[in-house]
Structure 1
């Protein structure tokens, strides 16, 4: 809930009187109330706590910097009518204040008024440039400086914040798109992750018991052995378990559990398209299956707060695959020993509301180990990034030249970041766009070969994302509109790229529409028959469209993907697609000969197979693909 809302929005947040001399009684100024209607946070506290929102932490600030920032936030809190989320305040004001505090101290100042002096401000700008932060980061940070001036805490007016942000960012001006993982690499990662989950899911309870006993034994051995190394060896040796896999490791550092968490994250993030924060909201009950029009649709539910300006968390849904259920269960029960320990720690928290918030974090799937020095049960971004890195390195899938080319094609703002032989380490944010790219570019088919349970995935995905508004209404669910927008953007880019290649670059084309386009290109006086901008415009206006089939492309905007591609007048086949038809032709030939051998008298079926074989062979001729012609014929005995 927004911490800046009025009573009718959140009755636990009251509006103190704001006046110029409120600081005289700042020790007694109440910031928030708890569920028992008692003061929860005072102005003087280093942490302002709220029941329904993220706490505001001032511990990174000192002296005048802390005093000024508190006054600024207090004023924004209770004098502005605009609603802000606590996430916005923590990231755009407090973290910005910490950043400028470091810069000012480094350049010889002790308060924010230091930058009122022109000479001091120039020093700060020079120092700020050395940080090499991105344009977006500086734009967010400068919101804080503008607020300081607006509320008369400083005299420095930075004027055009966008212009200053560009100057501070220097060469880091480009806004990088979230990473999309190349298909071969993603397939390797998902394949291995699924195998790990399938193998270890039956042993999820045993994993928790083994680790629980490990820490118990280590505690015992620590009182016996003088060295930590001997204590660890003794503890590991004395733990018995029935987990039969050679890659299962008992280690007190939690590295193996971190690796397992990485495998689960790959599957959950890779096949939902959720943001990192939304995945962290998942618990054991997040997975459900719904029936819609004779299709079983696996769904996960989580909390989504990003689109809401007031920061109100809302329950939202994403379509997924059955393997996500296994990943959630494996994570939940493998870390049950840690969850129980965190629950015991929670009993020592005296304030009821503090304890409730603490236990809400404990009842999520991504946990840290309480036995390692930490006070927070939730696995943060760094912990999850380490898990992804551990898992990716264990797969040891090195980038090839083709992978690099695809990576650069999918991620033009990241071109040159990777080289042949590197291991691609995915970022938590990268799965969302990878999901959208794979869905749009019809590459889910190659991933579906990894596991049988994926075979229904295209049906469920298509049903969901083609009719998501209708289905969501049917189940009274909220959908991820941002993800739908990302998918739509990727769909536009995919259509534009594919059509540009067909109209300008493909050396050979077959299919009725393909031959028409090739003839038009050959008669054109220019090398570029249709510009990318023109194609993009026509795609946006609905004048051009393209849909990918296993055996080619269809330019019919209303294509239902189940037409006969061999006779379709909208058909375009590139050489890449034609090569993919080689195994299809072999399958048809084998089917034809088998039916002939068994003297099956089905003239319509036999004619159809024969015609399809000959159509594919014509396609091979158009693209100069070598093949041995099928010389069998349909004789009268088969009719």
Structure 2
């Protein structure tokens, strides 16, 4: 055992504090079931070991503690990885312990133990899971807690090819538009009623509390049984159904569990998400003050991002649309009654010592969001013991949390074809007549990107800004298959493709007309052959004029093919693979090239520009430019024979290169 581990075990014997409050007082000890990180003010406030088998728990807690200490020592700011990162390491260590059957991870330094362990890792999960397992082992290695290090070629052998979930979903465009239309209509419908909704809910909460207190008093008890509570709820519901608010607000329903209010919050969340592509936690940090259109032509929403910053919150902005303002106002104002109710109970809990100052501050901060929990329990203690007061939009196990049924999606054949094209890892999961296989907050982000890139509303740089990516490769990954979908959409548009074909055909006929009927002189190997053929036939008394109808017939039959060259003139070889702009200088001229009088004039202008450029660079006298100048001089001189053939006057170019390596 290393000296570091011996020292660690001595330190752990006293069960030291691992977390501290904002006043630097100890809060949680290493072997506590829950570590309290409220003082850090990150998205994740606690780390629980409640689900970890007791025979592994202390070892996992010990190694996490040691990892945190090493990270603090290695950091300039005396900080450890974000709480979300610690949660990920806990999960990976727990997975490793359950598979291996041991939790003293130092033993993995031994080849014998490692072989035993790796046998259990075969097909353990997706590549992402295997990479995270390897990363956790490697970070323990860096901290000096074991000597094992895992490279990609090793962990890739553990991957279960059937376990990959693939990318987030990109919606077919028709489904995307349907979802957009539904949420926008919902927001526009209920925005005028937002204050009435809050007032109705406040009246509802007060009424139910009074009824409950009256029932407790009448029965002389401090709490109702489950059966008594159900009876009371039914009686109260029967009464509230008759309230005028039910009819005054379209399709409105009272519910303490937040069913109707939950629908409202999801619609507003999806609306802002589809018009900003912000992450879930970033959206949850927004309120009605987040929208701003005063400083730029494009309105923005602002919020807090913690991605890639050790859990620290950074204030940032996203481009959006005016409907986001209405959505945020609707979500915030409609939940004002729940916000007021929760604040009263938080104040009471803090004053009575049920909440620490850090917990109280964190929950107050939760209530600043537009998206707060719409479920208000009767029991005040149940409310203040919640991990968060923000609305639970979705989770790893809840793929229908954004309420797809509300969108009434029925996929068409075209929807399925586009879905399979955009989501090749999920081919077959969308059926004709069925709905989306899932709808999560991350699917909103990817669909935003694909819609934007596919419709040329932005590019990878736009995506990088909007999604707050650190590198453009991730932005390109999000836009996967959008270009292909756009191309496929064009190909399926028979009318558009017909117009393309007509335009291409017309251009080809114009080019051949110029060659046969307009240009007095033709140069280039193929041009000279055509000119000689015309001359021979004229000498025999033939009239050489190719009518447009004849040219169209030859182009359509494939007998005539032509391509406009960047070097001037045309190429008549449909299978040509030469890079003419380079090869005309270093190789023999193309055998299929035709230069007309018009093309020769373009070459003359290009030569003038090349000469001006040559002289400007040459005057610098920089030896580093010798190769560039040499190539440019050869290019200028290669054009001159063509100008001679077309009787275009010019002065020969013989400038010397001033700075030449000896």
Normalising by the smaller structure, the TM-score range is 0.5 to 0.7
TM-score (norm 1): 0.63
Cα distance in 2 for partners of 1:442, 1:386 equals 31
Counterpart for residue 412 of structure 1: 424
Counterpart for residue 318 of structure 1: 318
**Structure exhibiting the larger radius of gyration computed from Cα positions:** 2
- Correspondences of 1:71-110 after superposition (within 5 Å): 71-81=65-75, 85-87=81-83, 89-104=85-100, 107=101, 109=102
Cα distance in 1 for partners of 2:489, 2:406 equals 37
Counterpart for residue 142 of structure 1: 134
Cα distance in 2 for partners of 1:252, 1:503 equals 53
What secondary structure sits across from 1:316 in the alignment?
strand
Residue by residue over 1:106-165, the C-alpha shift from the partner in whole angstroms, topping out at 9 and shown as x without a partner, is: x4x46446767778766655655565x32112211222223334545456x3x5442343
What secondary structure sits across from 1:429 in the alignment?
helix
- Correspondences of 1:463-502 after superposition (within 5 Å): 480=468, 494=482
What secondary structure sits across from 1:103 in the alignment?
helix
What secondary structure sits across from 1:290 in the alignment?
coil
Residue by residue over 1:274-305, the C-alpha shift from the partner in whole angstroms, topping out at 9 and shown as x without a partner, is: 1122111112211111354xxx4221001122
Aligned residues: 478
Cα distance in 2 for partners of 1:483, 1:368 equals 34
Cα distance in 2 for partners of 1:502, 1:359 equals 52
Q: Is the 8 A contact 2:169 2:446 kept in 1?
A: yes
- Correspondences of 1:545-564 after superposition (within 5 Å): none
2:359 corresponds to 1:354? yes
Q: Which runs of 5+ in 2 are unaligned?
A: 216-223, 510-554, 563-573, 580-662
**Cα drift, residue 204 of structure 1:** 1.6
Which stretch of structure 1 is more off in the superposition, 413-422 or 280-289? Answer: 413-422
- Correspondences of 1:85-484 after superposition (within 5 Å): 85-87=81-83, 89-104=85-100, 107=101, 109=102, 111-112=104-105, 125=118, 128-129=121-122, 133-151=125-143, 153-154=145-146, 157=148, 159-172=149-162, 176-222=166-212, 224=215, 227-239=228-240, 240-242=243-245, 243-245=247-249, 247-292=251-296, 296-308=297-309, 310-347=310-347, 348-349=349-350, 350-369=355-374, 371-372=376-377, 375=386, 376-382=388-394, 389=401, 391-424=403-436, 425-442=438-455, 480=468
**Cα drift, residue 29 of structure 1:** 4.4
Cα distance in 2 for partners of 1:151, 1:465 equals 37
What secondary structure sits across from 2:390 in the alignment?
coil
- Correspondences of 1:604-619 after superposition (within 5 Å): none
Counterpart for residue 608 of structure 2: none
RMSD (Å) for aligned C-alpha atoms: 4.4
Q: Label 1:227 to 1:468 Cα distance change in 2 as closer, same or farther (>3 A).
A: closer
What secondary structure sits across from 1:297 in the alignment?
coil
Q: Is the 8 A contact 1:218 1:231 kept in 2?
A: no
What secondary structure sits across from 2:300 in the alignment?
strand
Counterpart for residue 528 of structure 2: none
Cα distance in 1 for partners of 2:409, 2:467 equals 34
Q: Is the 8 A contact 1:189 1:392 kept in 2?
A: no
Residue by residue over 1:501-543, the C-alpha shift from the partner in whole angstroms, topping out at 9 and shown as x without a partner, is: 9799986424645755896995679xxx999xx9xxxxxxxxx
Cα distance in 2 for partners of 1:520, 1:343 equals 77
Q: Label 1:495 to 1:144 Cα distance change in 2 as closer, same or farther (>3 A).
A: closer
Counterpart for residue 568 of structure 1: none
